[in-house]
Chains A and B, each alone.
Chain A
Amino acid sequence: DAGVIQSPRHEVTEMGQEVTLRCKPISGHNSLFWYRQTMMRGLELLIYFNNNVPIDDSGMPEDRFSAKMPNASFSTLKIQPSEPRDSAVYFCASRQQGALGAFFGQGTRLTVV
């Protein structure tokens, strides 16, 4: 398996633009997590899905953020409109129920100017 795949790896956008981050989890993993990492706040859980259903989105900072998981092999995190304070590295991770830990993708480094 190729592991968790995220795209794009880097994204630079202007304030006010819509940004969509994509994630393909490891095949067979039934949980998917979106994290945001900054120097100031560390690794923050934004939202996670079990079996494609959102379980906890309490970490989503505000309504500008939304996430979907239309099927077991794809998820998106959308920011609309983007703001400079959204600049961070966004990680997607997947996990098999009850087994091992979560495995992370390479991350998307988002810069909003």
Chain B
Amino acid sequence: QKEVEQNSGPLSVPEGAIASLNCTYSDRVSQSFFWYRQYSGKSPELIMSIYSNGDKEDGRFTAQLNKASQYVSLLIRDSQPSDSATYLCAVDNNAGNMLTFGGGTRLMVKP
């Protein structure tokens, strides 16, 4: 079992809809969680971080964390075609500042 798991997709949503991206992790001691966006041919870009249970909102993005269920999600409201990218979940397992990445979910927002 991988340490951080994501559905590879593609997840296809119409423009204006809510896109929901999910991630599960196996290490219960994980404390910090991050979402990265990667456009085709580009490097991963940090877009959200969350450290405590609950929701964290930043513009159209909301990160949700449930440590009991070992689950973290990213919601994108009013999805735009420019949101089409691969979204990577990353987890800090407190093992020497290392981040473990999931395989990423490809999101396609159709006009």
Contact = CB atoms under 8 A, between A and B. Distances in A.
B108 to A, nearest CB: 17
Categorize the interface residue count of chain B: 20 to 34
B2 to A, nearest CB: 10
A101 B43 contact: no
B46 interface: yes
Interface string B82-96: 000000101010001
Contact of A48 (B36, B43, B98, B104): B98
Given A100-B46, A101-B49, A106-B43, A43 B99 contact: no
The majority secondary structure among interface residues of chain A is strand
A50 interface: yes
Given A42-B104, A43-B88, A102 B99 contact: yes
B80 interface: no
Given A42-B103, A42-B104, A43-B88, A104 B45 contact: yes
Nearest to B98: A48
Contacts of B46: 100-103
The majority secondary structure among interface residues of chain B is strand
B87 to A, nearest CB: 12
Contacts of A102: 46, 90, 99
Interface of B: 32, 34, 36, 42-46, 49, 88, 90, 92, 96-101, 103-104
14 contacts: A31-B97, A31-B98, A33-B99, A43-B88, A43-B101, A43-B103, A45-B101, A48-B98, A50-B97, A95-B99, A100-B49, A101-B36, A101-B92, A102-B90
Interface of A: 30-31, 33, 42-43, 45, 48, 50, 55-56, 91, 95, 97-98, 100-107
